[in-house]
Amino acid sequence: MKSSRIDIAARLRAAGCVFAEDEADLLIAAASSAAQLDTMVEQRADGFPLEQVVGWAEFCGLHISVVPGVFVPRRRSEFVVARAIALTRQRTADRPKVVVDLCCGTGAIGVAVATALARVEANPPELHAVDIDPTAVACAKSNLASMSGRAYLGDLYAALPARLRGQVDLVIANAPYVPTDEIELLPAEARLHEPRVALDGGGDGVDVHRKVAAGAPGWLGPDGCLLIETSGRQAALTSAAVSAGGLSARIASSDELSATVVIGTWPD
């Protein structure tokens, strides 16, 4: 096995994998046979995201299922999770908190938020997730099962049950924010193996953010919050969209995670 690990690491390194030894260990642990291991190493060397190859990603300390063709959870998204948890814990309710994860991909963000809240609150949160991509919804359903959450196929709020109007405590969106003209500049892992609909944010990258922000007031409860992951470069545009939707907007950022989030709350 030692020589196999060395051979695998060498092949991965030659393919451009920076952490070849660590990835070799993960591939070996995930494979159930020598033949499967060979296939997985070939896929990774061909540029498939590691998480899609091994079938999972670690996110906020959780084991999130990842399938081929779905958007892979990024570590920077742990920042929007942390901000959502902090905001929600400041509010009390005599009912389960309602969490909506828009453009959910694997559902990692919603699951992480709901898991953290369930540990500290008497009433487990009610979790809903939405994506326009069928592959993502199928993957999210498997991840949300542990929280008794539901995943819906559709376009943003249109997919949600009408009973949630005016009842949502958290709307969280990791919507696409790469400008269309910059898609071709992305790393091949994302450009070739993740759905374009999860990456392409339109001309200035904020088209979907504007839709999320415009629709949020109709779904948020009296103490509800909107959180949109964005980039430092586009934060002002995302913030303007949230303000135009009728919420007070502020920008939060993390240098450690290179992450930026716009937070929308009801005006005082």
All domains in the chain, ordered by first residue: 2-65 (no CATH), 75-265 (3.40.50.150)
- On the 0-12 / 13-18 / 19+ scale of CB atoms within 10 A, 139 is buried
What pLDDT, on a 0 to 100 scale, did the predictor assign at position 93? 61
1 has pLDDT over 60: no
What pLDDT, on a 0 to 100 scale, did the predictor assign at position 91? 62
What pLDDT, on a 0 to 100 scale, did the predictor assign at position 23? 86
Please compute the mean of the pLDDT values over residues 245-265 and round it to a whole number: 97
What pLDDT, on a 0 to 100 scale, did the predictor assign at position 137? 98
31 has pLDDT over 60: yes
pLDDT in tens, 186-215: 998 899 999 999 999 999 999 999 999 999
Predicted confidence band of residue 3 (pLDDT cuts 50, 70, 90)? very low
241 has pLDDT over 90: yes
Predicted confidence band of residue 236 (pLDDT cuts 50, 70, 90)? very high
185 has pLDDT over 50: yes
pLDDT in tens, 41-92: 989 998 899 999 999 999 999 999 999 999 999 999 999 999 999 998 766 5
Please compute the mean of the pLDDT values over residues 123-150 and round it to a whole number: 96
What pLDDT, on a 0 to 100 scale, did the predictor assign at position 218? 97
Q: Choose among 230, 235, 267: nearest CA to 248.
A: 267
Please compute the mean of the pLDDT values over residues 239-257 and round it to a whole number: 97
- ∠ CA 4-19-68, rounded to 5°: 85
What pLDDT, on a 0 to 100 scale, did the predictor assign at position 123? 84
Predicted confidence band of residue 4 (pLDDT cuts 50, 70, 90)? confident
Q: Choose among 115, 168, 123, 169: nearest CA to 146.
A: 115
2 has pLDDT over 50: no
Alpha carbon of 42 to those of 5, 27, 74: distances in Å?
14, 11, 23
